[in-house]
């Protein structure tokens, strides 16, 4: 998968679903119905699956790609970022920097990494060897500290990852709101939470970040727009915060 596809596919999927006015559940049902009609195989795609695809937490399985594009009314080439026309399969010129769907800061050059010592950075794993996530850079220890592991800088193949600076606006917002990051257990037991999605993509963050509560079956978080985030993504694909006033 091309480097840009890890953000282009989620962007375009989210955009096309919104244009069609479908909820995540409705999109999942439509894919399942069309897949059964064309392949004769019954599948179940919950809103959680669609959420993972839209946030870039998990790639879309190739077996669903044709059906998904049929439902969205676009070509595979468009969804993959090869074409800029939703109805065309003809390759377009590569995206210019000012043509990217949403703002994305430049990745940090390797020789400038030292400038971000003791600061949060966002890591995109271009070969999907790990979920994209935030980390804390520690030059003295020669490591990047993640929520679930520690990566030695000397062991990294820098051609397989891209490192981006943190979003300063979001960092400032968290501090001013007096939010505390929750553990999995505390998140599950909190009625109302604020969620930060582990994506450096402005479009995805603007759609998904905000206040959530639990769905009726207590299987995921849901917001007032009906967007869902499965519990298995806590501290992996998104971070959960409590707000003091709640």
Burial class of residue 244 in the structure, from the number of CB atoms within 10 Å of its CB (0-12 exposed, 13-18 middle, 19+ buried): exposed
**Residues 162-179: what's their mean pLDDT?**
54
Give the count of beta carbons closer than 10 Å to the beta carbon of residue 146: 17
Give the count of beta carbons closer than 10 Å to the beta carbon of residue 99: 10
Structure-token pair, residue 127: 């070969």
The mean of the pLDDT values for the chain is 79
Q: What is the per-residue pLDDT across 52-90, written as a single tens digit (0 to 9) for each?
A: 898 887 888 989 999 999 999 999 988 888 888 888 887
- The conformation of residue 164, written as its DSSP 8-state character, comes to E
Query: What pLDDT does 52 receive?
Result: 86
Instruction: Find the range with the poorest average confidence among 14-23, 64-73, 78-87, 120-129.
Output: 120-129
Query: What pLDDT does 40 receive?
Result: 92
Q: What is the per-residue pLDDT across 196-241, written as a single tens digit (0 to 9) for each?
A: 887 766 667 777 888 889 988 888 998 887 888 989 888 888 888 8
Query: What pLDDT does 200 receive?
Result: 65
Give the count of beta carbons closer than 10 Å to the beta carbon of residue 83: 18
Give the count of beta carbons closer than 10 Å to the beta carbon of residue 161: 19
SS3 percent helix, strand, coil of the chain, rounded to 5, is: 40, 20, 40
Helices 62-72 and 5-20, interaxial angle, to 10°?
A: 40
What is the percent of the chain with per-residue pLDDT over 70, rounded to a whole number?
A: 81
pLDDT at 27 over 90: yes
**Looking at per-residue confidence, does 175 or 21 come out higher?**
21
Query: Cα-atom radius of gyration of the chain, to the nearest Å?
Result: 19
| φ, ψ (nearest 5 deg) of residue 48 | -65, -40
pLDDT at 180 over 80: no
């Amino acid at each position: 998968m091309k480097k840009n596809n890890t953000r282009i596919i989620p962007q375009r999927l989210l955009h096309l679903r919104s244009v069609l006015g479908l909820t995540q559940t409705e999109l999942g049902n439509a894919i399942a119905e069309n897949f059964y009609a064309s392949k004769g195989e019954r599948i179940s795609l919950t809103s959680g699956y669609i959420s993972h695809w839209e946030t870039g937490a998990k790639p879309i399985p190739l077996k669903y790609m044709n059906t998904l594009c049929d439902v969205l009314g676009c070509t595979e080439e468009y969804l993959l970022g090869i074409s800029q026309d939703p109805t065309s399969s003809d390759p377009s010129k590569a995206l210019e920097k000012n043509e990217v769907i949403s703002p994305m800061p430049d990745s940090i050059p390797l020789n400038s990494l030292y400038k971000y010592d003791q600061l949060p950075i966002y890591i995109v794993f271009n070969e999907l060897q790990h979920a994209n996530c935030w980390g804390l850079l520690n030059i003295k220890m020669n490591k990047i500290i993640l929520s679930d592991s520690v990566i030695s800088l000397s062991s990294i193949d820098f051609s397989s990852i891209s490192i981006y600076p943190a979003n300063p606006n979001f960092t400032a917002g968290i501090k001013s709101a007096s939010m505390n990051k929750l553990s999995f257990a505390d998140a599950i037991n909190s009625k109302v939470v604020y969620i930060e999605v582990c994506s450096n993509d402005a479009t995805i963050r603007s759609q998904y970040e905000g206040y959530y509560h639990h769905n009726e079956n207590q299987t995921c978080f849901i917001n007032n727009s009906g967007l869902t985030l499965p519990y298995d993504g806590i501290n992996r694909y998104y971070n959960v915060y409590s707000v003091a006033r709640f």
